[in-house]
Structure 1
């Protein structure tokens, strides 16, 4: 396995941070390569070595965030057997093992943007699909049931709804409180 070049990692991190900063005030299609380079303190050649356009930066950063989200989503299930997941749904889920809100806090600036009006809804749906795919993957413990696609969409929107509500309150509640809200919400849904 090839080790990551630390210079590339540092450069891309600077570009991601610059893009995040610019997205606070501008729509993605209105950000020019020259201003992104200025903000990231890199030259255009460096930018074009890694990307073709600004949208490519957002897409790559988005994919990195989603990968971290997927790992965060799966974290609590490391402590629950497949049988427990199938039989008791969320009753065995310990809020202390939930990592989704730690992930959101880690990428708070990104989520402030993805949940704002400054990016196309395409990215919201990419976010939705990433979370939903985890529910579908979990369902493969048993047999995937196509009729459950609405259930998976409902559960996905429940999680996104909690994140949106947290965003609306300016991420003021603690990560631990959000973990508890998630587990309580999932347990309430399980009682319906």
Structure 2
């Protein structure tokens, strides 16, 4: 699939402008005119690609979530969903967050409405559901699965929020080591005693 470089540049300009505006105001308060002015594109070009500002955000979130999904699933696919076989170099989530750090700084900011967090939460939870289905297909306790999904989604996002609170200072490679330790400590396969 070949991408028109002008379209890619327009989308990148709009995303960058949207992130800048989201640092100071909620999505609902951002106008198309304001977004176009900051992105340095005309309104006609905007409407060629998007119907409104919400669609810019929605499509950007889709790009981020798809990248997050790939980063999340990579180690599980390589280990055939066996946590005990996972190694630090397989983990890609923290590299993903670094790549989209501007977005995550907004989503995890205490000054930003929780709706952004919940959009991210629901998106991450939905792809985790696909992964969990492979592991717990035979479980008849649907309530347990629902709570397990929320628990695991919040565990991952909680790690990312903590990293955000520390200013993303810790290297992704160090966080990979920490995550392996956490998974080892919380794994039902760990040896006691």
For the criterion TM > 0.5, the same-fold answer is yes
RMSD: 1.8
Aligned to 1:166: 163
- 1:120 is displaced (CA, Å) by 4.1
Q: After superposition, give the CA deviation of every residue in 1:55-88 in whole Å (9 maximum; x if it has no partner).
A: 111111111110111111111123213xxx2xxx
The TM-score with structure 2 as length reference comes to 0.88
Counterpart selection for 1:185 from 154, 161, 182: 182
Deviation of the 1:49 alpha carbon = 1.4
Mapped partners of 2:122, 2:32: distance in 1:
29
Counterpart position of 1:71: 70
Tell me the TM-score normalized by structure 1.
Answer: 0.88
Q: Residue 9 of structure 1 aligns with which residue?
A: 8
Q: 1:144 to 1:129 in 2, by over 3 A?
A: farther
CA distance in 2, matches of 1:92, 1:159: 19
Instruction: Count the aligned residue pairs.
Output: 185
CA distance in 2 between partners of 1:108 and 1:144 (Å): 38
Q: Does 1:31 align with 2:24?
A: no
Q: Which range is displaced more, 154-163 or 135-144?
A: 135-144
Q: How far off its partner does 1:144 sit?
A: 5.5
Q: Give the match's secondary structure for 2:38.
A: helix
